[in-house]
């Protein structure tokens, strides 16, 4: 089961990081709700700071995991960039600069 969760996180990095942020924000809001000496605006600010710290930690962990996978698990970095134009298969392209 842990392997399935790790695989899902590899495939959906941004959703996983967004989920961590949302969970962190909710948990820190719940914690700050118990602090009676703070005003509501300070509670929101503290919650946001805690959630941002958690998200940055998650981003660093994601980058480290990606680096580890590429370096030690012989995983190729895919050169299939969806934002680069590729001519249709079977068409000829003119040489550039001639």
Q: Using 70 as the pLDDT threshold, list the residues of the chain that sit under it.
A: 74-82, 91, 93-98
pLDDT at 41: 92
Largest CA distance in the chain: 74
Q: Where are the domains of the chain?
A: 13-72
| Secondary structure of 63-75 in HEC code, one letter for each residue | HHHHHHHHHHCCC
> Rounded to the nearest 5°, which phi and psi values hold at 62?
-65, -40
Separation of alpha carbons 1 and 45, rounded Å: 36
DSSP secondary structure code for residue 1 in this structure: -
pLDDT tens digit sequence for 57-77: 988 988 888 888 778 876 665
CB neighbour class for 7 (10 Å; exposed up to 12, middle 13-18, buried from 19): exposed
pLDDT at 5: 84
pLDDT at 97: 60
Separation of alpha carbons 13 and 55, rounded Å: 12
pLDDT at 86: 74
């Amino acid at each position: 089961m842990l392997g399935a969760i790790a695989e899902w996180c590899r495939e959906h990095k941004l959703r996983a990081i967004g989920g961590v942020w949302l969970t962190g924000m909710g948990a820190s809001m719940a914690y700050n709700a118990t602090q009676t000496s703070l005003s509501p605006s300070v509670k929101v600010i503290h919650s946001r700071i805690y959630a941002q710290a958690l998200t940055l930690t998650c981003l660093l962990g994601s980058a480290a995991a990606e680096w580890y996978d590429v370096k030690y698990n012989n995983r190729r970095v895919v050169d299939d960039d969806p934002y680069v134009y590729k001519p249709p298969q079977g068409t000829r392209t003119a040489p550039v600069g001639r």
